[in-house]
Chain A
Amino acid sequence: MRITSMIGIASAMLLTGAVTVADAAQPKKGGTLTYTYHPEPTALSTIATTAVPVALISTKIYESLLEYEGAGLTPKPGLAESWAVSPDQLTYTFKLRKGVKWHDGKDFTSEDVKFSIGTIALKYHSRGKTYFSNVADIETPDAHTVILKLNAPVPYLLRAFQPGETPMMPKHAFSEQEIAEKKVRKAKVMQNPIGTGPFKLKEWSKGSHIILERNANYWKPGKPYLDQIVLRVLPDGAARAIAVEKGEVDLAPMTALPPPEIQRLSKLPSLVSSQEGSEGLGPVMWLEVNLREKPLSDVKVRQALSLAIDRKKLVDVIWYGMGKPARGPIVSSNPNHFDKTLPAFEFNPKKAEEMLDEAGYKRGANGKRFKLTQNFLPYGEEWVRQGEYIRQAFSKIGVEVDTQSLDMGGWLKRIYTDWDYNYTSNFTHNYSDPTIGVQRAFISTNIRKGASFSNSMNYASPKVDDLLKKAAALPDGPERKKVWAEVQQTIRADLPVIFLIEMGYTHIWNKRVHGLITNGVSMYSGWDSVWVD
């Protein structure tokens, strides 16, 4: 009996072992992966806009110099076979892979790299200036060598070469006129993309679907495994959930479904749900506060409002447990920059009331202290529900709130162009380095009319400005971590935004899909090793 059961266990182990090995070693070729995300992309290149739907699809078509491994984004060879950084961190030399072809058959050379960085990314990518404004010169001694010369060290530069951040664009496909007249975003090639990536555009039927097909001449032998990637446009959240449940759609990345549906579908045996693979994004949600007018210009008022919000409840009820309470501008999962000494934000309505009394905003005869207008990010119903909760929470400490409902265009205009608001819910990505993702919202030079996801609050702190500039130039290490800790503490004390939660992206996919989660920006990767049963 004992022996048999042991044999049973052993064979079971053998079997599982065999299955795991097969899973890893024998990917199948062919097949189609269908995914869904709302809203539909407005472009096919992150040069046009870095919005989530655009980044999702364009990263399959375009590549960058490097690829990345693991949650911490360790660089590994991509279009560049090797690279070297000089000891003073001012010279980066990339050796390009030979024999790489664009989708139209032309050779990929160092000229394309120089063009993509100096002419395209620097001027048109929304984070291009953060990465490349210190680049003094780009040298191309031969067709397969690129040398970047910098004025000052840029410690996070090696993270810039992701397909969504610095996509390699074909120089030959842009006309001189398009470059000279600054019509890059409207160039022909932006509609009919030519990349080096594992997939190329086959068909875009607006409002319905986008089909990408396998690039047969891809430089990685035998890859990609998939024949096609299809994006299905399904504007209704419930319809997206049904499509995933029925197996019509294989993947809903980055919380593309309503939270209650995610919870329900997570339990189905045919589906996998995972919060892994987005570590390199780090979304933080907050209430962006307009500091130009009373009473929100008073830090005591903002602290009181912060005390009125029960962040745990917010995560549990509105977001169905996806995420955790935020502790500052940097996500707590970032081991290199997050300041672990930051406590959780307190929930204490009583103290909030005392603070408002102290600040001179006593309850009036009708029990109200003052009135605010709130806006919410128009990304779906969860955001409406959250706004309703916050209005409720504020009304309990005597702050009356009127909600204003706007579409995406109206919201962008009101918050970032007109600056005509009291507060709004919003989120931004930390990205792989806080200088890339955090600085833009808090540095005073980014108080720019019309620039979306910038410093709309009018937050100008000379101390934070100095620290941010210092952090941008320092290499990662204890000293930089200290500077960032000070930034986090100062911002927490000033509260130009009221931090809410660190969002948890949930990806849901059908069990027939394999190899999706590869690094901290898995959904923004090329998917050349993804395969389906």
Chain B
Amino acid sequence: MSALSDLAEQVREANRTQTPLVLRGGGSKDFVGRSPHGEVLDLRGHAGIVAYEPTELVVTARCGTTLSHLQAELAARGQWLAFEPPSFGEHATVGGMVAAGLAGPARAAAGAVRDFVLGVRMMDAQGEVLEFGGQVMKNVAGFDLSRLQAGAMGILGPILDVSLKVLPLPQASVTMQFVLGQAEALSQVNRWSARPLPISASLWHDGCLSLRLSGAAGAVAAAVASLGGDRLDTAAAAALWLGVREQRHRFFQAEAPLWRLSVPSTAPVFDLAGDTIFEWGGAQRWWHSAPGDDATERVRALAQTVGGHATLFRGGDRAGSVFQPLSPATRTLHERLKDTLDPARIFNRGRMYADF
């Protein structure tokens, strides 16, 4: 029997007995979202690159393919996943990367995971394989159920295969650093982002704004000349962006609960005591709450006031409210979507919100 028919059998059985399933690849993102509970549906066996056409800018991979394998195959042809997904561990898989929907330092410039999803094959609660989207850049036939899977935390069912748009690696990349306070750094990086500069990543921490410029060599050189600042050497720059992407940077080493605030890039500096860091031109801010301080209400209110949301990314109460609560209207839509696609609520139940 193929891995796929085994999976289908397991899903059908779980659906029949209403047993919650934990969709799991390499387990590198077990910490993301609310704590998983249920029987593990191990997706590692459904692995491999199905098709890769560098000149079509499309790769199709099975969910259990490791992210590192996919990235190596792309790099061998001078291409990459331009949204720079974090792996959070060597066993990270492609399916988990899409389901978690997390993008790395390039997010503000390149786009999110969902911006690169072209199509998926997934399994419904009856074990039937459904296909949405495709392997082409432009496709408006039917509702876009493929992009909906990015960041869905598996609650709509396991992604079996995903087709992703890939891009050429940038020719050149240079990181410049500027000594600036947080407020100055926020306004400066927004002003620069409104100019036609090849900014591919930004990071502010501890009085220093780091700006990565990537693209054609000529464009990068011209931007470096016009912006000034101190140039970070290539190895240190690579280590900096990798460290932030994988959260190995020293900011992320603290034991305290880690909050992620996703806000408009121009939102002011938040009145939050303690160490903080921002990325994505100001649109992604990280903050550690003091151990024992239940900051949930406060952080959520701060993010909501400016039109954003806050996630308890690591630590704290993983059985509690990890993601910002939904508005009643949006919550109703979530529950109806869940119930139409997974009526017995077996797929990753409670991983995103407690009831579904």
A and B found bound together: no
